[in-house]
C-alpha cells in the first residue's frame, strides 16, 4: 500500500513537472524509456526469480492449480473486452489494459511505450483501481466467488500488496495456492500485453 502511494506520488510529480516545463524547452523522454524498458523487464524477472518463496511454493504445485491463473487471465481479458463495447475503446486496447491484472507499474509503462501516454495513463489508473477495489470489495468477492474471489480479483498483486487481505477473507490454507497463482499471473502480464498490442 505504501508502495502504491509512492508510485502515485512519482506519477503526479511527473505530471506537475510536465505541466511546469515552458513550451519552448522541448525534451522527449521516449528514447530513454525504451532503453530502460528491457532493464525493467530483466529486473522484474530477477525479483521474481530471486524470491525463494516462489521456488518453494512451485515445488508444491499440483497441475490442476494451473487452472486458477489461467482462469484469472482469461476472465480478466473477457471482462475488460466486454467493457470495451460500452466505451470508445477498441477491444484490443481494453484487453491489453485488462491483461495488466493489477500490475500497474509494468503494464502502464509497457502500454505507454507501445500505444502512447493516453492508453498508458488509462492502464495505470485501471490497474491501480483493481488493487484498491480488491481491498475494498474483498468481503463481497468472497460471497460472489467463494475463497478464490479475492485471489482472482487481486491478480498479480496477490504476490505482495493484497496478500494480507486474501489471507483475511479466504483463509490461511489458500496462501500457497494464491501465491503460486499470483507469480504465474505476474510473469504473464508483459507477455500478454506484447501479444495483444
Partner 1 sequence: MITLFTAILVGTLVGYLLRRQERIIRLVDLALWGVIFLLLFLLGFAIGRNPQVMRVLPELGFYALLLALGAILGSVLLTAGLNRLFKLLP
Which of 129/164 has CB closer to partner 1?
Answer: 129
What is the grid cell recorded at 89?
A: 475503446
Which of 57/126 has CB closer to partner 1?
Answer: 126
CB of 165 to partner 1, least distance (A): 14
Cα–Cα distance, 37 to 43 (Å, whole number): 10
CB of 164 to partner 1, least distance (A): 18
Which of 1/43 has CB closer to partner 1?
Answer: 43
Residue 142 is classified by DSSP as H
Task: Specify whether the backbone of 32 is left (phi greater than 0), alpha (psi in -120 to 50) or beta.
Answer: alpha
Which of 76/161 has CB closer to partner 1?
Answer: 76
Cα–Cα distance, 177 to 162 (Å, whole number): 14
CB of 14 to partner 1, least distance (A): 2
Residue 50 is classified by DSSP as T
CB of 153 to partner 1, least distance (A): 5
Amino acid at each position: 500500500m505504501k508502495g502504491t502511494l509512492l508510485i502515485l506520488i512519482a506519477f503526479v510529480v511527473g505530471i506537475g513537472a510536465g505541466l511546469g516545463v515552458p513550451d519552448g524547452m522541448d525534451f522527449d523522454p521516449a528514447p530513454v524509456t525504451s532503453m530502460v524498458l528491457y532493464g525493467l523487464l530483466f529486473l522484474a524477472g530477477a525479483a521474481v526469480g530471486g524470491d525463494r518463496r516462489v521456488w518453494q511454493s512451485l515445488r508444491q504445485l499440483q497441475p490442476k492449480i494451473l487452472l486458477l491463473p489461467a482462469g484469472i487471465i482469461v476472465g480478466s481479458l473477457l471482462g475488460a473486452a466486454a467493457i470495451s463495447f460500452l466505451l470508445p475503446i477498441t477491444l484490443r486496447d481494453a484487453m491489453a489494459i485488462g491483461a495488466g491484472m493489477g500490475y500497474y507499474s509494468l503494464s502502464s509503462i509497457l502500454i505507454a511505450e507501445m500505444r502512447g501516454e493516453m492508453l498508458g495513463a488509462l492502464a495505470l489508473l485501471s490497474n491501480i483501481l483493481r488493487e484498491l477495489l480488491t481491498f475494498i470489495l474483498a468481503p463481497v468477492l468472497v460471497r460472489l466467488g467463494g475463497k478464490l474471489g479475492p485471489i482472482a480479483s487481486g491478480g498479480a498483486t496477490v504476490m505482495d500488496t493484497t496478500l494480507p487481505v486474501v489471507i483475511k477473507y479466504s483463509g490461511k490454507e489458500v496462501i500457497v495456492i494464491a501465491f503460486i497463482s499470483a507469480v504465474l499471473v505476474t510473469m504473464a502480464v508483459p507477455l500478454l500485453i506484447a501479444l495483444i498490442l
